[in-house]
Amino acid sequence: MINYIWLGLIVVGAIISIVKGNAQFVTDAAIESANTAVTISLGLIGMMTLWLGLMNIAEKAGIVNAVGRLLKPIMKRLFPEVPENHPAMGSMVMNIAANMLGLGNAATPLGIKAMKELQELNPEKDTASNPMCMFLAINTSSITLIASTVVAYRVAAGSKNPAEIIGPVIIASIFGTVIAVIAAKLLEKFSKRGGRKCS
Amino acid sequence: MFVNVIQTISTYAIPVVILLIPLYAVFKKIKVYEVFCEGAVEGFHTAVKIIPYLLAMLVAIGIFRKSGAMDVLVSILSPVTNFIGLPGELVPLAVMKSLSGGGSNGLLTDILKTSGPDSLIGRIASTMTASSETTFYVIAIYFGAVGIRKTRHAVSAGLIADLAGVLAAIWICRLMFG
């Protein structure tokens, strides 16, 4: 699926630009986005290094496993393929908690750490495993308790009550996450590993 | 009240974690500095490994955005979006929020300016934007870091969840503010 979406974005974008006589847009967008990608990735180095260091301490001290055990009943059901005491469980719980609190800087490195641990359990290194897809679905829908960025935009736009959306956001994001979990569980039955449906 | 509690937790979470992890580890007789550095070594490599994945994604999205293709997509989708009760001015945002965080923040700012932050449209737009992460960005970063190219059902599950979040935002805002 991702192959078609990727191709579609490029083909549709390029054709429309060229037809409208704006061929230069394609070049501009390509250069600009390529640079942005490098800036974002390199910008992650600091946070990535910090959290991988801290998490190594936490893991050796048994903290990561203890965190994983806190939510064992839920995690076991969401990720049946992951052994109960695997460090991936703890990393995923910490990532989800950081996301809920709106701590994006910490959440991304913790999530990547969790992905690395899931990758250790993954028999096919270039193909996403079921727990990886589930973890990703939970992450993209991410339950949001504090919508600080959007509240800031609302303040800037002169809202009388900028924080009034926090309640709706919590409900909408919980609903989105529940649907994400159901979708990931149902879809994993249809997308076989190594088969054509993987695209 | 609730908001204050959560805000306090999110302010103290990182300082407390940075303090407690090494402190607890020392009680467990762990050589904290050495273990930190041992883990941190991977940081640079991991970040660099993400570059090709994120670049591929951002370039495709960038070309699509810059071309004005969004308008075309919006008119193709209009029968569907009318059916689910999504107001026309929110359609670009509903699509953009799966593709680009920067793009959807830009659209949100426009909507807040033209419709007003305390209008129903403004409230729905705010709720929609805040209630999920940028699916394609998350996929590029998380899968890129471990070299996953075959994403299986991750994209579909993410997009279904995005759609559910959009619908939920509309319904809840209509219910609470409508």
Q: Are residues B34 and B76 in the same domain?
A: no
Together in a domain, A162 and A188 = yes
Beta carbons of A44 and B47 less than 8 Å apart: yes
Any residues with CB less than 8 A from the CB of B107 and at least 6 apart, and which? B92, B93, B96, B125
Q: A132 or B6: which carries more pLDDT confidence?
A: A132
pLDDT in tens, B112-122: 999 999 999 99
Q: Are residues B165 and B80 in the same domain?
A: yes
Q: Is residue A50 part of a domain?
A: no
Q: Are B86 and B14 within one domain?
A: no
Same domain, B74 and B151: yes
Cβ(A132)–Cβ(A168) under 8 Å?
no
Rounded-to-integer distance, Cα B55 and Cα A185, Å: 29
Do both A129 and A90 map to the same domain? yes
Closest chain B C-alpha to A58 CA, distance in angstroms: 6
Q: Write the CA distances from B136 to A46, A132, B55, integer angstroms.
A: 23, 15, 12
Residues B94 and B173 in one domain: yes
Question: The tokens 């209630």 sit on which residue?
Answer: B131
Give the pLDDT of residue B39: 93
Specify the pLDDT at position A193: 64
Cross-chain Cβ contact B143/A136 below 8 Å: yes
- This model of the complex carries an ipTM of 0.91
CA distances from A179 to A2, A176, B36, B167 (A): 20, 5, 38, 11
pLDDT above 60 for B48? yes
Report the chain B residue with the minimal C-alpha distance to residue A46: B43
Residue A195: pLDDT over 70: no
CB contact (8 A) between residue A172 and residue B127 = yes
| Domain extent for A5 | 1-45
Are both B60 and B107 inside the same structural domain? yes
- Predicted pLDDT at B3: 75
Contacts A53 to B, Cβ<8 Å: 36-37, 39-40, 43
The H helix count followed by the E strand count for chain A is 9, 0
Which pLDDT band holds residue A20 (cuts at 50, 70, 90)? very high
> Which candidate in B152, B155, B156, B159 is best for mutational testing of the A interface (most A CBs within 10 A)?
B152
Inform me whether the pLDDT recorded for A196 exceeds 50.
Answer: no
- Mean pLDDT (chain A) is 92
Of A48-62, A91-105, B71-85, highest mean pLDDT: A48-62
| For range A144-167, the mean pLDDT | 91
Q: Would you state the structure tokens that stand for residue A58, as one six-digit string? A: 């936490």
Residue type, A143: I
Q: Which residues face A127 on adjacent strands?
A: B150
A165:B118 CB<8 A: no
Q: State which residue of chain B sits closest to A44, comparing Cα positions.
A: B47
Q: How large is the average pLDDT for residues B76-102? A: 89
Confidence tier at B70 by pLDDT (50, 70, 90): confident
Written as one string, the DSSP assignment of A14-26 is HHHHHHTT-HHHH
Q: Which residue has the higher pLDDT, B88 or B59?
A: B59
- CB of B82 within 8 A of CB of A36? no
Q: Are B49 and B105 within one domain?
A: yes
Q: What is the mean pLDDT of residues B144-171?
A: 94
Dihedral pair phi/psi, residue B28, rounded to 5°: -85, 10
Maximum C-alpha span of chain A: 61
Residue A110 covered by a domain: yes
pLDDT at position A197 over 70 = no
Q: Smallest CA–CA separation between B71 and chain A, in Å?
A: 11
Searching chain A, which residue's CA lies closest to the CA of residue B135?
A: A140
Report the pLDDT averaged over residues A163-167.
Answer: 92
Residue A198 is predicted with a pLDDT of 43
Domain that holds residue B3: 1-40
Q: Please write the tens of the pLDDT for every residue from A39-72.
A: 999 999 999 999 999 999 999 999 999 999 989 9
Q: State whether A165 and B130 contact (CB < 8 Å).
A: yes
